[in-house]
């Protein structure tokens, strides 16, 4: 915890399996919670994860993290789902306790892109940085297998463009930009 204060700009990603240990360390380092500008808690609509989210918010509140620093991001929301319905319990909790912030703009929809870019070095930015003109390449290709691969790459790029737009919107909502 003592090394965190060395940086002016830092994102700390605490995995779900490590959150208890991380908070225990924050409790030992009194005031260390003030080193963080925001606490972003991504959550999914499964009951256990939503209960864990409430528990995390409660613990952060108990150690002195103010509500305006705790933001919930509704993650993996299907296209046909209404976040206000599938996360109704968390929204009600946030409204009744005032211990965290929720917003309809802090929603990340499920997207097949996430399952397709799991290999190391793959990212939304890397896909979008590829300047290949896939439509021209597809027209020029004679091998049907190559055409399919190029078409898949074009589809991936189109998915990435939508995901980037969504993630940028969510980021702005989370940080208040």
Cα separation, 90 vs 165, in Å, equals 25
Instruction: With 0.75 as the threshold, say if the pTM is over it.
Output: yes
| pLDDT tens, residue by residue, 90-122 | 999 999 999 999 999 999 999 999 888 877 778
The DSSP H or E segment spanning 124 is: helix 124-129
Q: Mean pLDDT in each 10-residue stretch from start to end of the chain (177 residues)?
A: 64 75 83 85 94 92 92 96 96 97 95 87 91 97 96 96 97 87
Query: Is the domain of 102 the same as that of 117?
Result: no
List Cβ neighbours of 150 (8 Å cut-off, separation of 6 or more). 134, 137, 138, 141
Pair of tokens at residue 67: 């509500």
Tally of structural domains, the chain: 2
Whether 152 and 80 share a structural domain: no
Are residues 162 and 175 located together in one domain of the fold? yes
**Are both 86 and 28 inside the same structural domain?**
yes
Residue 59: strand, helix, or coil: helix
12 and 98 in a single domain? The answer is: yes
What is the Cα–Cα distance from 70 to 39, expressed in whole angstroms?
A: 5
Residues 54 and 120 in one domain: no
Final residue belonging to a domain, choices 64, 87, 110 = 110
Domain range for 25:
1-110
Task: Report whether 70 contacts 39 (CB < 8 A).
Answer: yes
């Amino acid at each position: 915890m003592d090394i965190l204060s060395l940086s002016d700009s830092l994102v700390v990603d605490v995995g779900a399996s490590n959150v208890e240990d991380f908070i225990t360390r924050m409790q030992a380092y009194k005031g260390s919670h003030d080193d963080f500008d925001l606490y972003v808690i991504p959550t999914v609509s499964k009951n256990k994860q939503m209960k864990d989210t409430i528990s995390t918010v409660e613990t952060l509140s108990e150690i002195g993290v103010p509500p305006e620093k705790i933001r919930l991001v509704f993650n993996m929301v299907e296209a046909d789902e209404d976040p206000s319905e599938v996360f109704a319990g968390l929204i009600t909790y946030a409204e009744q306790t005032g211990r965290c912030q929720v917003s309809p703009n802090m929603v990340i929809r499920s997207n097949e892109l996430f399952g397709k870019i799991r290999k190391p070095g793959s990212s939304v930015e890397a896909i979008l940085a590829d300047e290949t003109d896939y439509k021209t390449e597809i027209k020029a290709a004679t091998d049907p297998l190559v055409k399919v691969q190029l078409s898949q790459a074009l589809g991936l790029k189109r998915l990435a463009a939508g995901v980037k737009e969504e993630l940028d919107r969510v980021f702005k909502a989370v940080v208040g930009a």
